[in-house]
Structure 1
Amino acid sequence: MLCPHQIAYTQRGVLNGQEKIDGHFQGVGMRNYSASWICAAFLALIGGCGRSEVATPGPVSAVPLPQSSAKQSSDAGEGAGSKPQSKRRTLAPVEVDSGSPAGSVVVKSPAEQLNSVREALKPFQILLGRWNGLSQKAVSDHPEWAYDWVTDPQFPRLKVTSEKLPYLREGRLAYLPDSDQFELKVIDAEGVQRIMRGTFIEPIRDVAGDGKKLQRTYKLQLTEQRTESAADPSGEQWRITLNQQENNRYILEIDRKRGNGPFSRVDTVHTQREGTSFALSETDYGDKTCIISQGLGTISVSYQGQSFMVCCSGCKAAFDDDPQKWIAKWEEKKKMQK
């Protein structure tokens, strides 16, 4: 049996102690002696070639094969002894017709996002102002709604505050453009915050009422979002429905459920607007348009001799914080309308 070194020498063409290199035989001399010594050591290491378990030999230093021999070896490896390689298929990306190139994400600019949020909150401008509330449990309250432009100018919200209502001492109503939902963050009398999300279960309708004034109605239902980390230990889940009856009246419906049971009514708060009516008009509000929300302005503000109208305390706070910004936006809006 030939050892690996003997095989290598045989492949190189060793004849009677001479090695054939580039067509000429040259004496191998000490090479055969060294090869025999390495082969003997190799056989001693693996315990003989006759064993069934053969260790993998380490790399052998040998003279590189001539090109003709290497080519023959390569050709033999590509012959019947090797499996044919299948051609790799290339899959082209699938394009989805969404109005933009496949894989691209449409990102709104800050101005576009602000505009979408403002448009979504416009139907709720009917809530701006102070209200008289009376709950089914005989709790008298005076909730007040106002815009919040100060906390995050790029993400305005409607803020409601209550002095006595146990379920809602403070709330912030926001629009979420990514999910096309509304979010109400509520803090109750015990300081517990609940995050509620939802959308309209009855769409917005403006219908003619007494005196031919348009009266707004809708139902916005918001359900508490529950996670394992934020779930109420009692297993309760809350739901608030904002039921706008007309311009000057809305009902706040508070529901609750335990476990997997159904929602049941906890309380109902009937509210009537205090003071000036915010009745809608078929036209714009003219000189009474709020410089910030474009709702009906009821509060006068001024800057450098110019007077403007705002609709609520929240818009007044935003104007006082940066009047130049809001005046510039107002002037730009009027130019676009011409």
Structure 2
Amino acid sequence: MPRAVLVVLAAVTAVGVLTAADATDTRSASQKALKRFNPLIGKWRGVGQPRRGSATGAWSEKSEWTWEFDKKKNSVAVRYKSTGTKLLADGIFGYDPGTRRFTLQATFADKTRRRYTGRADATGTLILESTPDKKNQVYRLTIRQLNSKRTLVLHERRRTKSTFYTRVAGIGYTRSGTRLAAANTGPLCIVTEGRGTSKVSYKGKTYWVCCSGCRDAFLEDPEGILAEAKKREVQRKRKKAKTNGSS
């Protein structure tokens, strides 16, 4: 085979390896950032109110937060789904390491789709803002977890030329499910280190997962998941040893 062809093949192979490594680094960074959603993973009951303190136009809904892994795309996200809602019915929350912003691909009950981006403030409240729509409306979504059992989500909007937001509706959520899911202590999910709520087994050993998404990810690639968990543990030990050594 001509030397020039070998050089080209080597270059293509190197690019492929770098691309795969970059994708893995991006996924790891995204998963680390998305861990802030761990307290939300699970099932919730919600009551929506267009007007605060008023039952007019109010509704009840049921929602669930799960991790979602795409092995082919080497990507990770957190999925939100709700039934009975008048607002956000399906949302895919991601993280962009390049901009250090959270993203949301949202589908509403009326089939409207919006894309949001934003950050968490100093209190941990997640604030996301949409791109302007055809009617020059900008929407804001604020997610504030009060404690392990209660979460508030506020939907607002404003005109593009205005800085003042008006309320669309607020939804108060109460966690449903087992006591373990709402506890502050307990076994950790082997995939994301959220609170474990169900068990999976592999080679005679039992591990905990926090949702159906993590369960599926573990069952699809248990060796890979366990290798990542071991790597995290090694990193924690090194960090602890470094901290102890500098004190």
Report the TM-score range of the alignment, normalised by the length of the smaller protein.
0.7 to 0.9
Deviations 1:157-189 (A, max 9, x none): 111000121221100111111111111110011
| Structure 1 residue 119, shift from structure 2 partner | 1.9
Which residue does the alignment assign to 2:128? 222
Counterpart of 1:184?
A: 104
CA contact (8 A) 1:150 1:317 kept: no
Separation in 1, partners of 2:230, 2:140: 41
SS of 2:115's partner is strand
Q: 2:38 aligns with which of 122, 125, 134?
A: 125
* Counterpart among 35, 56, 77 of residue 157 in structure 1: 77
| Helix, strand or coil at the partner of 1:246 | coil
C-alpha displacement of 1:153: 5.9
Matched residue, 1:321: 220
Question: Residue 154 of structure 2: which of 233, 236, 253 is its match?
Answer: 253
2:138 is matched by which residue type in structure 1? Q
> 1:143 corresponds to which residue?
63
Is the CA contact 1:290–1:297 (under 8 Å) kept in the aligned structure 2? yes
2:189 is equivalent to residue 280 of structure 1? no
**Residue 154 of structure 1: CA displacement?**
3.1
Q: CA deviation at 1:295?
A: 1.4
Q: SS where residue 83 of structure 2 aligns?
A: coil
Cα-to-partner distance string for 1:277-304 (whole Å, 9 max, x where unaligned): 43435xxx5xx22110011111101123
- For residues 268 and 151 of structure 1, the distance between their equivalents in structure 2, rounded to whole angstroms, comes to 35
Question: Aligned in 2, Cα 1:190/1:116: closer, same or farther, shift over 3 Å?
Answer: same
Q: TM-score, normalised by structure 2?
A: 0.76
1:263 to 151, 165, 189: 165
Cα pair distance change 1:192/1:199, threshold 3 Å: same
| Runs of 5+ consecutive residues of structure 1 not aligned to the other structure | 1-107, 205-217
Structure 1 pair 321–164 and aligned structure 2 pair: CA distance change class (3 A): same
Instruction: Name 2:144's counterpart in structure 1.
Output: 243
CA distance in 2, matches of 1:145, 1:241: 16
The separation in 2 between residues aligned to 1:120 and 1:150, in whole angstroms, is: 17
Offset of 1:236 from its aligned partner?
A: 2.4
What is the alpha-carbon distance in structure 1 between the residues aligned to residue 71 and residue 25 of structure 2? Answer: 19
Structure 2: distance between partners of 1:219 and 1:336: 28
Q: CA deviation at 1:268?
A: 0.4
Q: Greater relative contact order: 1 or 2 (C-alpha under 8 angstroms, separation 6 or more)? A: 2
Q: Return the structure number with greater helix share.
A: 2
* C-alpha distance after superposition, 1:45-95 (max 9, x if no partner): xxxxxxxxxxxxxxxxxxxxxxxxxxxxxxxxxxxxxxxxxxxxxxxxxxx
Contact map agreement 2:86 2:109 (CA 8 A) in 1: yes
Answer 1 or 2: which has greater strand percent.
2
How many percent of aligned residue pairs carry the same amino acid?
Answer: 28
Distance (Å, rounded) in 2 between the aligned partners of 1:172 and 1:196: 10
Of the three residues 192, 196, 200, the one matched with 2:120 is 200
Match status 1:306 vs 2:205 = yes
Change (3 A) 1:302 1:160: same
Q: How many aligned residue pairs are there? A: 208
Larger radius of gyration: 1
